[in-house]
């Protein structure tokens, strides 16, 4: 896949956290995976027994049903203009294994699993 040059004038990103990626240029392979447990508790006093562990929940060990890439697509690309012009990009947060890419990326494989809990006071 022939590539184009990324011509970026201005990017403002407030925070890139929890293995987020900001990439300008070309990437061949991106494998993103994020797992999260979100506990919303009334009174918000967290103690030791509020801790939750990933392997206690089947959600995190479940098999993801990926789409079988059955048919082979042979794609030919012609770039008549060899640059990607970006004037201004403003983001507040790139977080939990996310990717902001300006340029080309051949393959992306991303998996996110979030389990939420809401605990109200009895």
Binding site for another protein (CB under 8 A): 1, 3-4, 6, 20, 30, 32-34, 36, 57, 59, 62, 64-67, 69, 71-81, 84-120, 122
Asked whether the beta carbons of 94 and 24 are under 8 A apart, the reply is no
CB of 73 to another protein, least distance (A): 5
Question: Please, what is the minimum distance in Å from the beta carbon of residue 53 to another protein?
Answer: 15
Measured from the CB atom, the residue of 48 and 121 that comes closer to another protein is 121
As to burial, measured by CB atoms within 10 angstroms (0-12 exposed, 13-18 middle, 19+ buried), residue 103 is middle
Please, what is the minimum distance in Å from the beta carbon of residue 67 to another protein? 6
Q: How far is the CB of 44 from another protein (least distance, A)?
A: 15
Closest CA to 34 of 93, 112, 114: 112
**Are the beta carbons of 103 and 24 closer than 8 angstroms?**
yes
By beta-carbon proximity to another protein, the closer residue of 48 and 90 is 90
Kindly state the helix (H) or strand (E) to which residue 21 belongs, with its residue range: strand 21-24
């Amino acid at each position: 896949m022939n590539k184009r040059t990324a011509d970026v004038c201005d990017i403002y990103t407030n925070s890139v956290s929890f293995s987020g990626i900001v990439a300008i240029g070309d990437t061949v392979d991106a494998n993103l995976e994020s797992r999260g447990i979100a506990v919303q508790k009334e009174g918000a006093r967290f103690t030791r027994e509020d801790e939750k562990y990933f392997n206690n929940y089947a959600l995190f060990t479940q098999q993801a049903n990926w789409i079988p890439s059955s048919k082979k697509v042979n794609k030919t690309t012609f770039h008549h203009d060899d640059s990607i012009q970006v004037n201004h990009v403003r983001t507040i947060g790139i977080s939990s294994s996310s990717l902001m890419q300006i340029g080309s990326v051949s393959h992306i494989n991303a998996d996110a699993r979030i389990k939420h809990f809401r605990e109200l006071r009895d």
